[in-house]
């Protein structure tokens, strides 16, 4: 019997405020009373004003009702049955999956991608690397020397991978030769390098070794049993017990098992099927085999087996020739009926000798079958059973749906507007029926006047419906030419009778987008971008994330343009949202060092996320012939056709802004794990055993494990703003995975030149070396000289990195001066934010300021080209007026620093083998520097098309600014060469060129 209570409507339903007619009417009456309480005292229902209020409240409840539709209906367009989610939300596959982090994540990734794998194990390396590294306590440095007292250093973050393959020859990685085994390991290793995490690496991929199991048993069968079928089932069940398989599921199957959507999409995107993480965690090879388990399994699963008289387990291995080696596997006390692995690094595997000759001496599986005490020999003939019938196949699910099905929605025709004038009492003559000609003109005019008065409210109501109908456009990060934030519709005579008789001036012309936005809504393009910006902020906040344009806003002060356009801010946020699944799910992803890293998109997920959060645009282009391809965070110095690093040419940027922030700013992330030595002859990173060691910006005693260095340009004008530095540093620390230690270095242009030059060389060597090696243990091979040399140079650069800061002054806090942009003119000395080594900020890309002494010369930047005397290969360097370059010369594999000052006066060039600068003359010196083969190294210096050969047997290019130095050089230059004290070549060179 039906319960009448279920069909009783509540007397006072609990309605949202937007649908509560009584509440809206009461609020409207109260508002009218506050506005006109002294003039209007009759608020009864017969009052026309109250009638209008009631109909407007009724219209608002209709808008509230439509707004309360399911979001799927709100986003469903006409003639469609699915919501328009294109660029408003991400699917479960896009937003819930992520780059592998845990060991089980990697196991799932490999087992899903390689169907030829039965199981896989990843194990962190606990032992020391080869070569061993020790900490020299007395010297606070790393060493290869084992004194017996130096503690050994175990580098963390490295993993070995063991693969267990399928037995069936129907799969694509059947191992029959050593070459095929190497192909499998190489394929897996290359795949893992594409999915490496920051400060982690896979240093060894090996195939697991088997310990084969033999089963001997006597079975008593029923009279009606089929012994051939039973024997096949016995092999199937024993194989499945010893070597369990991992199953693939569909989404529906996992939901039926009670798994949540978040659990189903955990880890990487499914390729062949979904894996249950609960099963994956328990999916391990058996270390112990119990005969009781086998007896229960066989009797309960196979019809026709009456009993198992006896059962025995044994194990063996195969030697290099394939002959059996029996293992003495003693039974443990109290475990008479079980078999243990003799080696924990091996796995059990059933010997599949179903079709083997019963007389084969290597055959160890022996089954005897009895019918009523009578033993019956059972031999399976070829063709009766195949190997694939015994071994369960791992096959992907055909036509796998690796995402949730599309949502269903119903289009509600939200934009359709029904005029409130049709709801007025007929006495108002506002409905669909026209007014009779019998009415006087005054009544007709009153009718039109009320229609015009109501049109103001109706346009607002109709525009709200247009706004609601375009919710999918408002909540979107797509790029469209018409990126409006207000939608509207023009009412016509179909909605409002006699609308054309109102004679509204230019009513139809108002509904041009720009005219309506600016005239009716009072919305300028800037306000439209601000509204769009707030919509994008809402979309970003739905991911519990934020995008702060602080860095760009700070850079405005240093740009030649007056502002960073709102359009650019909106474009950066849209780019951030479009890339969000990658930025969020791959934040721990490291770059693939096997691939080139220079001028390629081979970036870590962390670098990409930092770049997007700082508003750095992706400058990659498909038209490689037209533009030089850059990575998102490109090198600050470019590489010419000869392979040499050069300073970038002056360029124009978007919105007619010179020196665009997203073009000149960037960072490099260096993983210290990649700098681990391989042969014991490489240079080691510096350490700092005492954290309080004054003047040393370094880590603890282990400089390799889970350490990264972020290198940023410290010479840019924006980098001189310490608040900007603090923001960038905090952003990097917040986004970096919590288990990693970080060092941040803001360096100068000369250091950046050296850093990128050595980083580029090392990355190339690492890429070529990794292509031919799958692990770090390469002690059997001779050291690779190119790799060792590039690593040594790069580590020397890393060890020498120091932060540069803007010039600081000892000023009182009350005396700090600000310029017109509220920028501190003179930075005060701040603890941990000041160094004795200071740099005067100068933008090296900027066009030189006009030179009042010689305007013609200041129109172009000075160009200095160093050429090697033998190869004649130029290394160009563009300099602005009055700037100073510090170059690096390499002689006999030793790097020396040379300062070059451009000459202001065009008439004073390098003449007579001397450098003449600022009315002062340098002094000739006698310097002996032999070349690698005993010859004299020489370099060409070209300044303003005047070439000077610097011969280091009689080097002369130096300008000394101090009297003491001048006197010293005078005395040195007048000494006969035979009377000069003996000094090394390096000492003689440094005395001249390093100041």
Which pLDDT score is estimated for 111? 95
Helix, strand and coil content of the chain, in percent to the nearest 5, comes to 35, 15, 50
Report whether 203 contacts 293 (CB < 8 A): no
Burial 125-154 (b: 16+ CB within 10 A, else e): beeebebbbbbbeeebbbeeeeeeebeebb
Residues 931 and 871 grouped into a single domain: yes
On whether residue 171 sits in a domain, the answer given is yes
Which tokens sit at 233?
A: 């089932």
CB 755 within 8 A of CB 747: yes
User: Distance between CA atoms of 907 and 911, rounded to whole angstroms?
Assistant: 10
**What's the pLDDT score for residue 568?**
79
Which of 344, 373, 390 lies at the terminal end of a domain, its last residue?
390
Position 283 pLDDT exceeds 60 = yes
Confidence of residue 73 (pLDDT cuts 50, 70, 90): very high
**217 & 322 share domain:** yes
Residue range 759-776: mean pLDDT, rounded: 76
Query: Does position 686 have pLDDT exceeding 70, yes or no?
Result: yes
Q: Is the pLDDT of residue 691 over 70?
A: no
Residue 236 inside a domain? The answer is: yes
Longest Cα–Cα distance of the chain, Å, equals 130
Q: How far apart are the first and last CA of the chain?
A: 103
Tokens 């990126």 sit on residue: 483
Mean pLDDT of the chain: 74
Q: When comparing pLDDT for 440 and 880, which is higher?
A: 440
| Total domains, the chain | 3
Looking at the fold, whether 185 and 304 belong to one and the same domain comes out as no
Give the rounded percent of residues in the chain with a pLDDT score beyond 90. Answer: 32
Domain of residue 921, residue span: 855-993
The answer, yes or no, to whether residue 93 has pLDDT greater than 90, is yes
Is residue 912 over pLDDT 70?
no
Shared domain check, 134 and 195: yes
Quick check: 591 and 670 in contact, CB under 8 A?
Answer: no
Q: Are residue 318 and residue 350 in the same domain, yes or no?
A: yes
**One domain, residues 164 and 228:** no
Dist CA 464 CA 324 (whole Å): 83
Beta partners for residue 916, in sequence order: 921
How sure is the predictor about 317, in pLDDT bands with cuts at 50, 70 and 90?
A: confident
CATH number of the domain that residue 165 is part of: 3.30.300
How high is the pLDDT of residue 616?
76
Contact 798/621 with Cβ under 8 angstroms?
A: no
- Give the pLDDT score at 911: 30
Last residue of a domain, one of 390, 419, 454: 390
* DSSP-based three-state secondary structure for 765: helix
pLDDT exceeds 90 at position 404: yes
Does the structure show a pLDDT above 70 at 334? no
963 Cβ contact list (under 8 Å, min separation 6): none
My answer on whether 876 and 889 are in the same domain is yes
CA distance 589 to 608: 10
pLDDT digits (tens, 9 = 90+) for 415-467: 999 999 999 999 998 988 888 888 999 999 999 999 999 999 999 999 999 99
The residue among 516, 219, 594 whose CA lies nearest residue 372 is: 219
535 falls within a domain:
no
Query: Same domain, yes or no, for 143 and 195?
Result: yes
- The burial of 369, by beta-carbon neighbours within 10 Å (0-12 exposed, 13-18 middle, 19 or more buried), is given as buried
- What is the mean pLDDT of the segment spanning 792-796? 95
Last residue of a domain, one of 359, 390, 421: 390
Same domain as 231, residue 362 = yes
Q: What is the mean pLDDT of residues 118-133?
A: 83
Is the predicted pLDDT of residue 778 greater than 70, yes or no? no
Residue ranges of the alpha helices (H) in 287-352? 291-301
Q: Is residue 742's pLDDT more than 90?
A: yes
pLDDT digits (tens, 9 = 90+) for 254-282: 999 999 999 999 999 999 999 999 999 98
User: In this predicted structure, what is the pLDDT of residue 515?
Assistant: 55
* Spatial separation of the C-alpha atoms in residues 574 and 580, rounded to whole Å: 10
Which residues are CB-neighbours of 964 under 8 A, at least 6 positions away? Answer: none
Tens digits of residue pLDDT in 61-71: 999 999 999 99
- The Cβ of residue 859 has, within 10 Å, a number of other Cβ atoms equal to 10
Domain match, 222 and 356 both: yes
> Dihedral, CA atoms, 902, 907, 909, 915, nearest 10 degrees?
-80
Residue 25 confidence class, pLDDT cut points 50, 70, 90: very high
């Amino acid at each position: 019997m039906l319960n009448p209570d279920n069909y009783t409507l509540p007397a006072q339903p609990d309605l949202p405020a937007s649908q509560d007619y009584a509440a809206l009417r009461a609020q409207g009456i109260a508002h009218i009373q506050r506005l006109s309480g002294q003039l209007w005292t009759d608020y009864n229902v017969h009052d026309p004003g109250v009638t209008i209020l009631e109909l407007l409240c009724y219209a608002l409840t209709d808008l509230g009702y439509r707004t309360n539709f399911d979001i799927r209906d709100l986003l469903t367009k006409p003639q469609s049955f699915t919501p328009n989610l294109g660029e408003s939300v991400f699917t479960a596959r896009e937003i819930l999956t992520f780059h592998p982090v845990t060991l089980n994540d990697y196991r799932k990734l490999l087992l899903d991608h390689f169907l030829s794998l039965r199981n896989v194990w990843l194990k962190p390396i606990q032992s020391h690397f080869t070569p061993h590294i020790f900490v020299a306590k007395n010297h606070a440095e790393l060493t290869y020397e084992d004194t017996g007292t130096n503690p050994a250093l175990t580098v963390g973050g490295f993993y070995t991978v063991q693969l267990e393959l399928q037995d069936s020859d129907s799969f694509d990685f059947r191992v029959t030769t050593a070459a095929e085994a190497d192909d499998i390991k190489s394929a897996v290793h290359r795949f893992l390098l594409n999915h490496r995490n920051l400060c982690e690496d896979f240093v060894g991929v090996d195939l697991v070794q088997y310990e084969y199991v033999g089963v001997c048993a006597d079975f008593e069968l029923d009279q009606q049993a089929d012994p051939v079928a039973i024997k096949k089932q016995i092999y199937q069940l024993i194989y499945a017990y010893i070597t369990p398989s991992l199953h693939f599921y569909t989404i529906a199957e996992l939901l039926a098992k009670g798994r949540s959507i978040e659990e189903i999409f955990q880890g990487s995107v499914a390729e062949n099927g979904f894996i249950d993480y609960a099963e994956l965690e328990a999916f391990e090879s058996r270390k112990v085999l119990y005969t009781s388990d086998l007896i229960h399994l066989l009797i309960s699963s196979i019809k026709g087996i009456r009993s198992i008289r006896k059962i025995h387990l044994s194990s063996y291995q195969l030697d290099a020739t394939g002959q059996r080696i029996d293992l003495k596997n003693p039974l443990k006390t109290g475990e008479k009926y079980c078999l243990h692995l003799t080696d924990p690094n091996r796995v059990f595997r059933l010997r599949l000798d179903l079709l083997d000759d019963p007389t084969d001496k290597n055959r160890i599986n022996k089954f005897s079958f009895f019918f009523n005490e009578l033993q019956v020999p059972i031999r399976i003939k070829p063709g009766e059973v195949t190997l694939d019938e015994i071994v369960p196949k791992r096959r992907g699910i055909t036509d796998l749906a690796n995402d949730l099905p599309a949502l269903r929605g119903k289009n509600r025709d939200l934009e359709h507007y029904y005029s409130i004038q049709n709801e007025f009492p007929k006495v108002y003559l506002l409905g669909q029926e026209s007014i009779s000609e019998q009415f006087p003109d005054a009544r007709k005019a009153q009718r039109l006047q009320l229609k015009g008065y109501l049109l103001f409210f109706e346009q607002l109501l109709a525009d709200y419906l247009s706004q609601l109908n375009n919710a999918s456009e408002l909540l979107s990060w797509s790029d469209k030419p018409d990126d409006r934030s207000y939608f509207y519709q023009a009412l016509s005579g179909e909605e409002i009778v006699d609308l054309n008789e109102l004679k509204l001036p230019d009513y139809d012309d108002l509904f041009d987008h720009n005219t309506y936005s600016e005239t009716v809504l009072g919305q300028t393009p800037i306000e439209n971008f601000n509204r769009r910006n707030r919509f994008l902020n809402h979309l970003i906040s739905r991911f519990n994330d934020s995008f702060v344009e602080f860095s760009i806003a700070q850079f405005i002060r240093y740009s030649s343009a007056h502002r960073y356009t709102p359009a650019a801010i909106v474009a950066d946020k849209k780019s951030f949202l479009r890339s969000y699944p990658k930025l969020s799910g791959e934040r721990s992803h490291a770059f693939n060092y096997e691939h080139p890293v220079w001028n390629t998109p081979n970036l870590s997920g962390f670098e990409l996320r930092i770049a997007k959060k700082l508003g750095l645009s992706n400058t990659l282009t498909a038209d490689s012939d037209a533009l030089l391809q850059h990575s998102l965070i490109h090198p600050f110095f470019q590489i010419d056709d000869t392979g040499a690093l050069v300073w970038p040419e002056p360029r124009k940027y978007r919105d007619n802004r010179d020196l665009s922030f997203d073009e000149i700013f960037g960072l490099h992330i260096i993983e210290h794990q990649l700098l681990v030595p391989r042969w014991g002859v490489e240079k080691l990173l510096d350490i700092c055993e005492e954290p309080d060691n004054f003047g040393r910006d370094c880590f603890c005693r282990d400089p390799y494990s889970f350490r990264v260095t972020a290198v940023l340009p410290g010479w840019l004008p924006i980098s001189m703003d310490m608040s900007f530095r603090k923001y960038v540093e905090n952003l990097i620390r917040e986004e970096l995975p919590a288990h990693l230690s970080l060092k941040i270095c803001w360096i100068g242009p000369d250091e950046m030149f050296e850093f990128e030059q050595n980083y580029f060389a090392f990355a190339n060597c690492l890429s070529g070396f990794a292509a031919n090696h799958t692990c770090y243990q390469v002690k059997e091979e001779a050291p690779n000289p190119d790799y060792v040399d590039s690593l040594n140079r790069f580590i020397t650069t890393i060890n020498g990195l120091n932060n540069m800061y803007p010039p600081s002054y000892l000023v009182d806090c009350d005396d700090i001066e600000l310029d017109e942009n509220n920028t501190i003119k003179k930075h005060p000395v701040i603890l941990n934010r000041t160094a004795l080594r200071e740099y005067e900020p100068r933008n090296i890309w900027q066009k030189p300021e006009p030179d009042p002494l010689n305007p013609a010369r200041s129109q172009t930047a000075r160009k200095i080209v160093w050429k090697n005397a033998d190869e004649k290969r130029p290394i160009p360097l563009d300099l602005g007026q009055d700037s100073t370059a510090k170059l690096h010369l390499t002689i006999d594999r030793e790097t020396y620093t040379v300062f070059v000052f451009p000459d202001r006066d065009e008439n004073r060039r390098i003449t007579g083998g001397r450098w003449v600068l600022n009315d002062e003359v340098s002094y000739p010196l006698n310097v002996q520097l032999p070349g690698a083969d005993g010859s004299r190294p020489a370099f060409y210096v070209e300044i303003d098309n005047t070439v000077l050969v610097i011969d280091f047997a009689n080097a002369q290019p130096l300008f000394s600014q101090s009297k003491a130095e001048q006197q010293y050089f005078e005395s040195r230059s007048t000494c006969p060469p035979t009377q000069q004290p003996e000094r090394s070549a390096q000492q003689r060179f440094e005395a001249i060129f390093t100041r």
